[in-house]
């Protein structure tokens, strides 16, 4: 490569190198659920209490019951430094929206639950001592989103109901039984007698009509 070409490439290479170093060394976690622990330090026994209101991220819950994205989550938690890392203990309050699995009516309830998680200062040097679910500090920051997401899933019922005594829908017509407790379609008929039941429902011809039909047949002869 000529000296002229090298002079052109070198500044571009310097810019790319600086960006790579910045992204690799100085890029830190960000977001409403990221907590900076710098002021807390690493002295065992240090602790600090936080109260925050944050917007819920997407996909917190199940298809039939979840915390709406952008809705407010009220958080109260404590960070406590111990030998291995920082112990997070707290609770949250959030709005959950879904539908009843029995009658399909909309559900809008508030859920309150607690959570506790350990954030290690360093990843265990021995892989056998660690766990795939271990949380590790990113520099001096901890990300509460994965912990909060798990806590929401555990707090939400898998089969949400509008009420514990919801009778559901009529299996024959789909009507909401709670709106009409006396809703019925009559006694169930054994399918073996269904054809006889249909014959019984057909109108019986009157005597005059029978005579008329007989006369008509005789005239044709």
Check residue 116 and give its pLDDT. Answer: 95
Which is nearest to 141 in space by CA: 114, 116, 121, 123? 121
Check residue 2 and give its pLDDT. Answer: 52
The answer, yes or no, to whether residue 76 has pLDDT greater than 90, is yes
Spatial separation of the C-alpha atoms in residues 152 and 140, rounded to whole Å: 25
The pLDDT of 147-163, averaged and rounded, is 92
User: Which secondary structure element, helix H or strand E, spans residue 65, and what is its range?
Assistant: strand 65-67
Check residue 27 and give its pLDDT. Answer: 41
Question: Which residues does 5 contact at the CB level (< 8 Å), separation at least 6?
Answer: none
pLDDT in tens, 100-144: 999 999 999 999 999 999 999 988 776 555 465 688 998 889 999
Check residue 168 and give its pLDDT. Answer: 87
Q: Considering the chain, what is the average pLDDT of its residues?
A: 78
Spatial separation of the C-alpha atoms in residues 28 and 41, rounded to whole Å: 18
The answer, yes or no, to whether residue 63 has pLDDT greater than 60, is yes
């Amino acid at each position: 490569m000529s000296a002229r070409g090298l002079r052109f490439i070198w500044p571009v290479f310097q810019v790319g190198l600086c960006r790579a170093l910045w992204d690799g060394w100085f890029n830190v976690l960000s977001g409403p659920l990221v907590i900076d622990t710098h002021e807390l330090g690493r002295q065992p026994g240090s602790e600090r209490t936080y109260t925050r209101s944050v917007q819920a991220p997407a996909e917190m819950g199940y298809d039939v019951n979840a915390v709406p994205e952008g809705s407010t989550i009220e958080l109260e938690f404590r960070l406590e430094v111990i030998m291995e890392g920082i112990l997070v203990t707290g609770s949250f309050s959030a709005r959950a929206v879904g539908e009843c699995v029995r009658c399909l009516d909309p559900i809008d309830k508030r859920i309150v639950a607690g959570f506790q998680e350990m954030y290690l200062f360093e990843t265990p040097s021995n892989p056998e001592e660690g766990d795939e679910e271990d949380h590790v500090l990113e520099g001096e920051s901890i990300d509460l989103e994965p912990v909060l997401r798990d806590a929401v899933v555990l707090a939400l019922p898998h089969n949400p109901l509008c009420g514990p005594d919801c009778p559901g829908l009529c299996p024959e017509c789909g009507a909401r039984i709670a709106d009409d407790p006396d809703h019925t379609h009559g006694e169930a008929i054994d399918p073996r007698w269904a054809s006889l039941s249909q014959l019984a429902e057909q109108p019986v011809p009157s005597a005059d009509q029978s005579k008329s039909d007989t006369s008509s047949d005789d005239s044709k002869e």
